[in-house]
Amino acid sequence: MATASFPCTDLSNAGARAGLSGKQSSAYWGFVRTLEEMGQRRPRIILLENVFGFLTSRGGEDFKAAMKALNSLGYSVDPFVINAERFVPQSRERLFVVARMAEAAEGDGLLAEDPIFFQDEIRPKRLAAFILDNPDILWSLRTLPPLPKRRFDLDLLIEQLPDSDPVWWSRERADYLLKQMSPMHRSMAEDMIVGKTTSYGTVFRRMRAGKSTAEMRCDGIAGCLRTPKGGSARQILFVAGKGRYRVRLLTPREHARLMGADEFRIECPANQALFGFGDAVCVPVVEWIAKNYLNSLFAEISAKTIAA
C-alpha cells in the first residue's frame, strides 16, 4: 500500500487555485511518476487525501486528470468525503481516494457501468454528480457503514491554564479582538460573557471588504486547523462567562487533541508543532477508513492471490 497527502496550497479556497499545475500541488505528478517507475512492483492499494477543493479545482479538470492517471497505471478509483467533526470537535472536511489494482475490484458490485448509483453521506451530491458525469473513469465504489456521531464538544479538549499563564492575551489585545467582530458575532460574544457558566468559542481573522474582521463559532466545534503561515491562519480561543472573557491562541496540545492524537509527544517549538498538526490527517478518521475499508480490501486481495 502507498499513501499520499500532497500539498493543498493550489487546490484550497485559501490559495490561488492554480490546481495541479501549481508550484506545490503539482507534487501529485511526482507521486504518479514514482508509481509508474515502479512497474510490476506497484502497490496493490493507494490511499490519497486532500481538501475538498481537489474535486472542484479548475472545474473538476484536475480531479479528472488525477483519476485518469491512476487508471492508466492499472488502478480503479473510489473517492469519498469525510468531515473530522464526526470524530472530533473540529470541522475538517477531506476528500479521500482509495485506488486498487483493477483486477482487485472485480465483484465489488458497484462499478460505474451499473445503472444505479446511490448518493450517501460520504459521497455528497457534488461528488456523486462528478462520478456519474465521468463514466470514462474506471470507478470501483464500495458500500461503507454509516459514520459515527460525534461524542463530545470542544470544551472537553481545552487546557485549563491559570490566569497568570503568559499565553493569555493582554486586556487591550483581547478588547481589540472584540471590536473587530461584526454586530452578529459581537452579540454572540456578549451572550457568552454574561452566561452563568464558562463557554468556549474559536475565532479566525478574515478579510471582509478589505477590512480585517474577527469571526467566531461557538457551536462546540473548532474551525479547521491550518498551518500558521500568517495571523489569519492562527485559530484563537475565546473563553467567556460569569461577566468576564479571556483570549489566547489554541495550544499545540489542543491541536493534538483536535486531530485525535491526544497523547502525541510534542518535543519541538510550538510553531513547528502547529505546522505539523495543521498539515496532518485526523487520526480517528484514518483509523475508521482502515477498519471499515482497507482491512477488508486487504483480506479480499489476499484471498484472490491465494486462490490464484
- pLDDT tens sequence across 175-191: 999 999 999 999 999 99
What are the extents of the domains in the chain? 2-149+282-307, 160-250
> What residues have CB less than 8 Å from 60, skipping those under 6 apart?
130
pLDDT given for residue 113 in this prediction: 47
Q: How far is CA 80 from CA 98, 122, 140, 265, in A?
A: 9, 5, 12, 31
Those residues with Cβ within 8 angstroms of residue 29's Cβ, 6 or more apart along the chain or in another chain: 20, 69
Q: What CATH number belongs to 2-149+282-307?
A: 3.40.50
Residues 97-126, mean pLDDT to the nearest whole number: 68
Q: What is the pLDDT of residue 234?
A: 87
Contact at 8 Å (CB) between 80 and 96? yes
For residue 56, give the H/E element and its range.
helix 53-56
C-alpha cell at 49: 487525501
Residue 95 grid cell: 476528500
CA gyration radius, the chain? 22
The C-alpha atoms of residue 6 and residue 26 are separated, in whole angstroms, by 8
Tens-place pLDDT, residues 24-83: 557 888 899 999 999 999 999 999 999 998 898 888 888 999 999 999 999 999 999 999
Give yes or no for residue 295 having a pLDDT over 70: yes
Handedness of CA 47, 52, 54, 60 (dihedral sign): positive
What DSSP letter does each residue of 10-43 carry, written as one string?
Answer: TTSTTS---GGGSTTTTHHHHHHHHHHHHGGG--
Q: In this predicted structure, which of 5-14, 16-25, 134-143 has the lowest mean pLDDT?
A: 16-25
Question: CB-based contacts of 173: which residues, under 8 Å, 6+ apart?
Answer: 247
pLDDT score at 108: 47
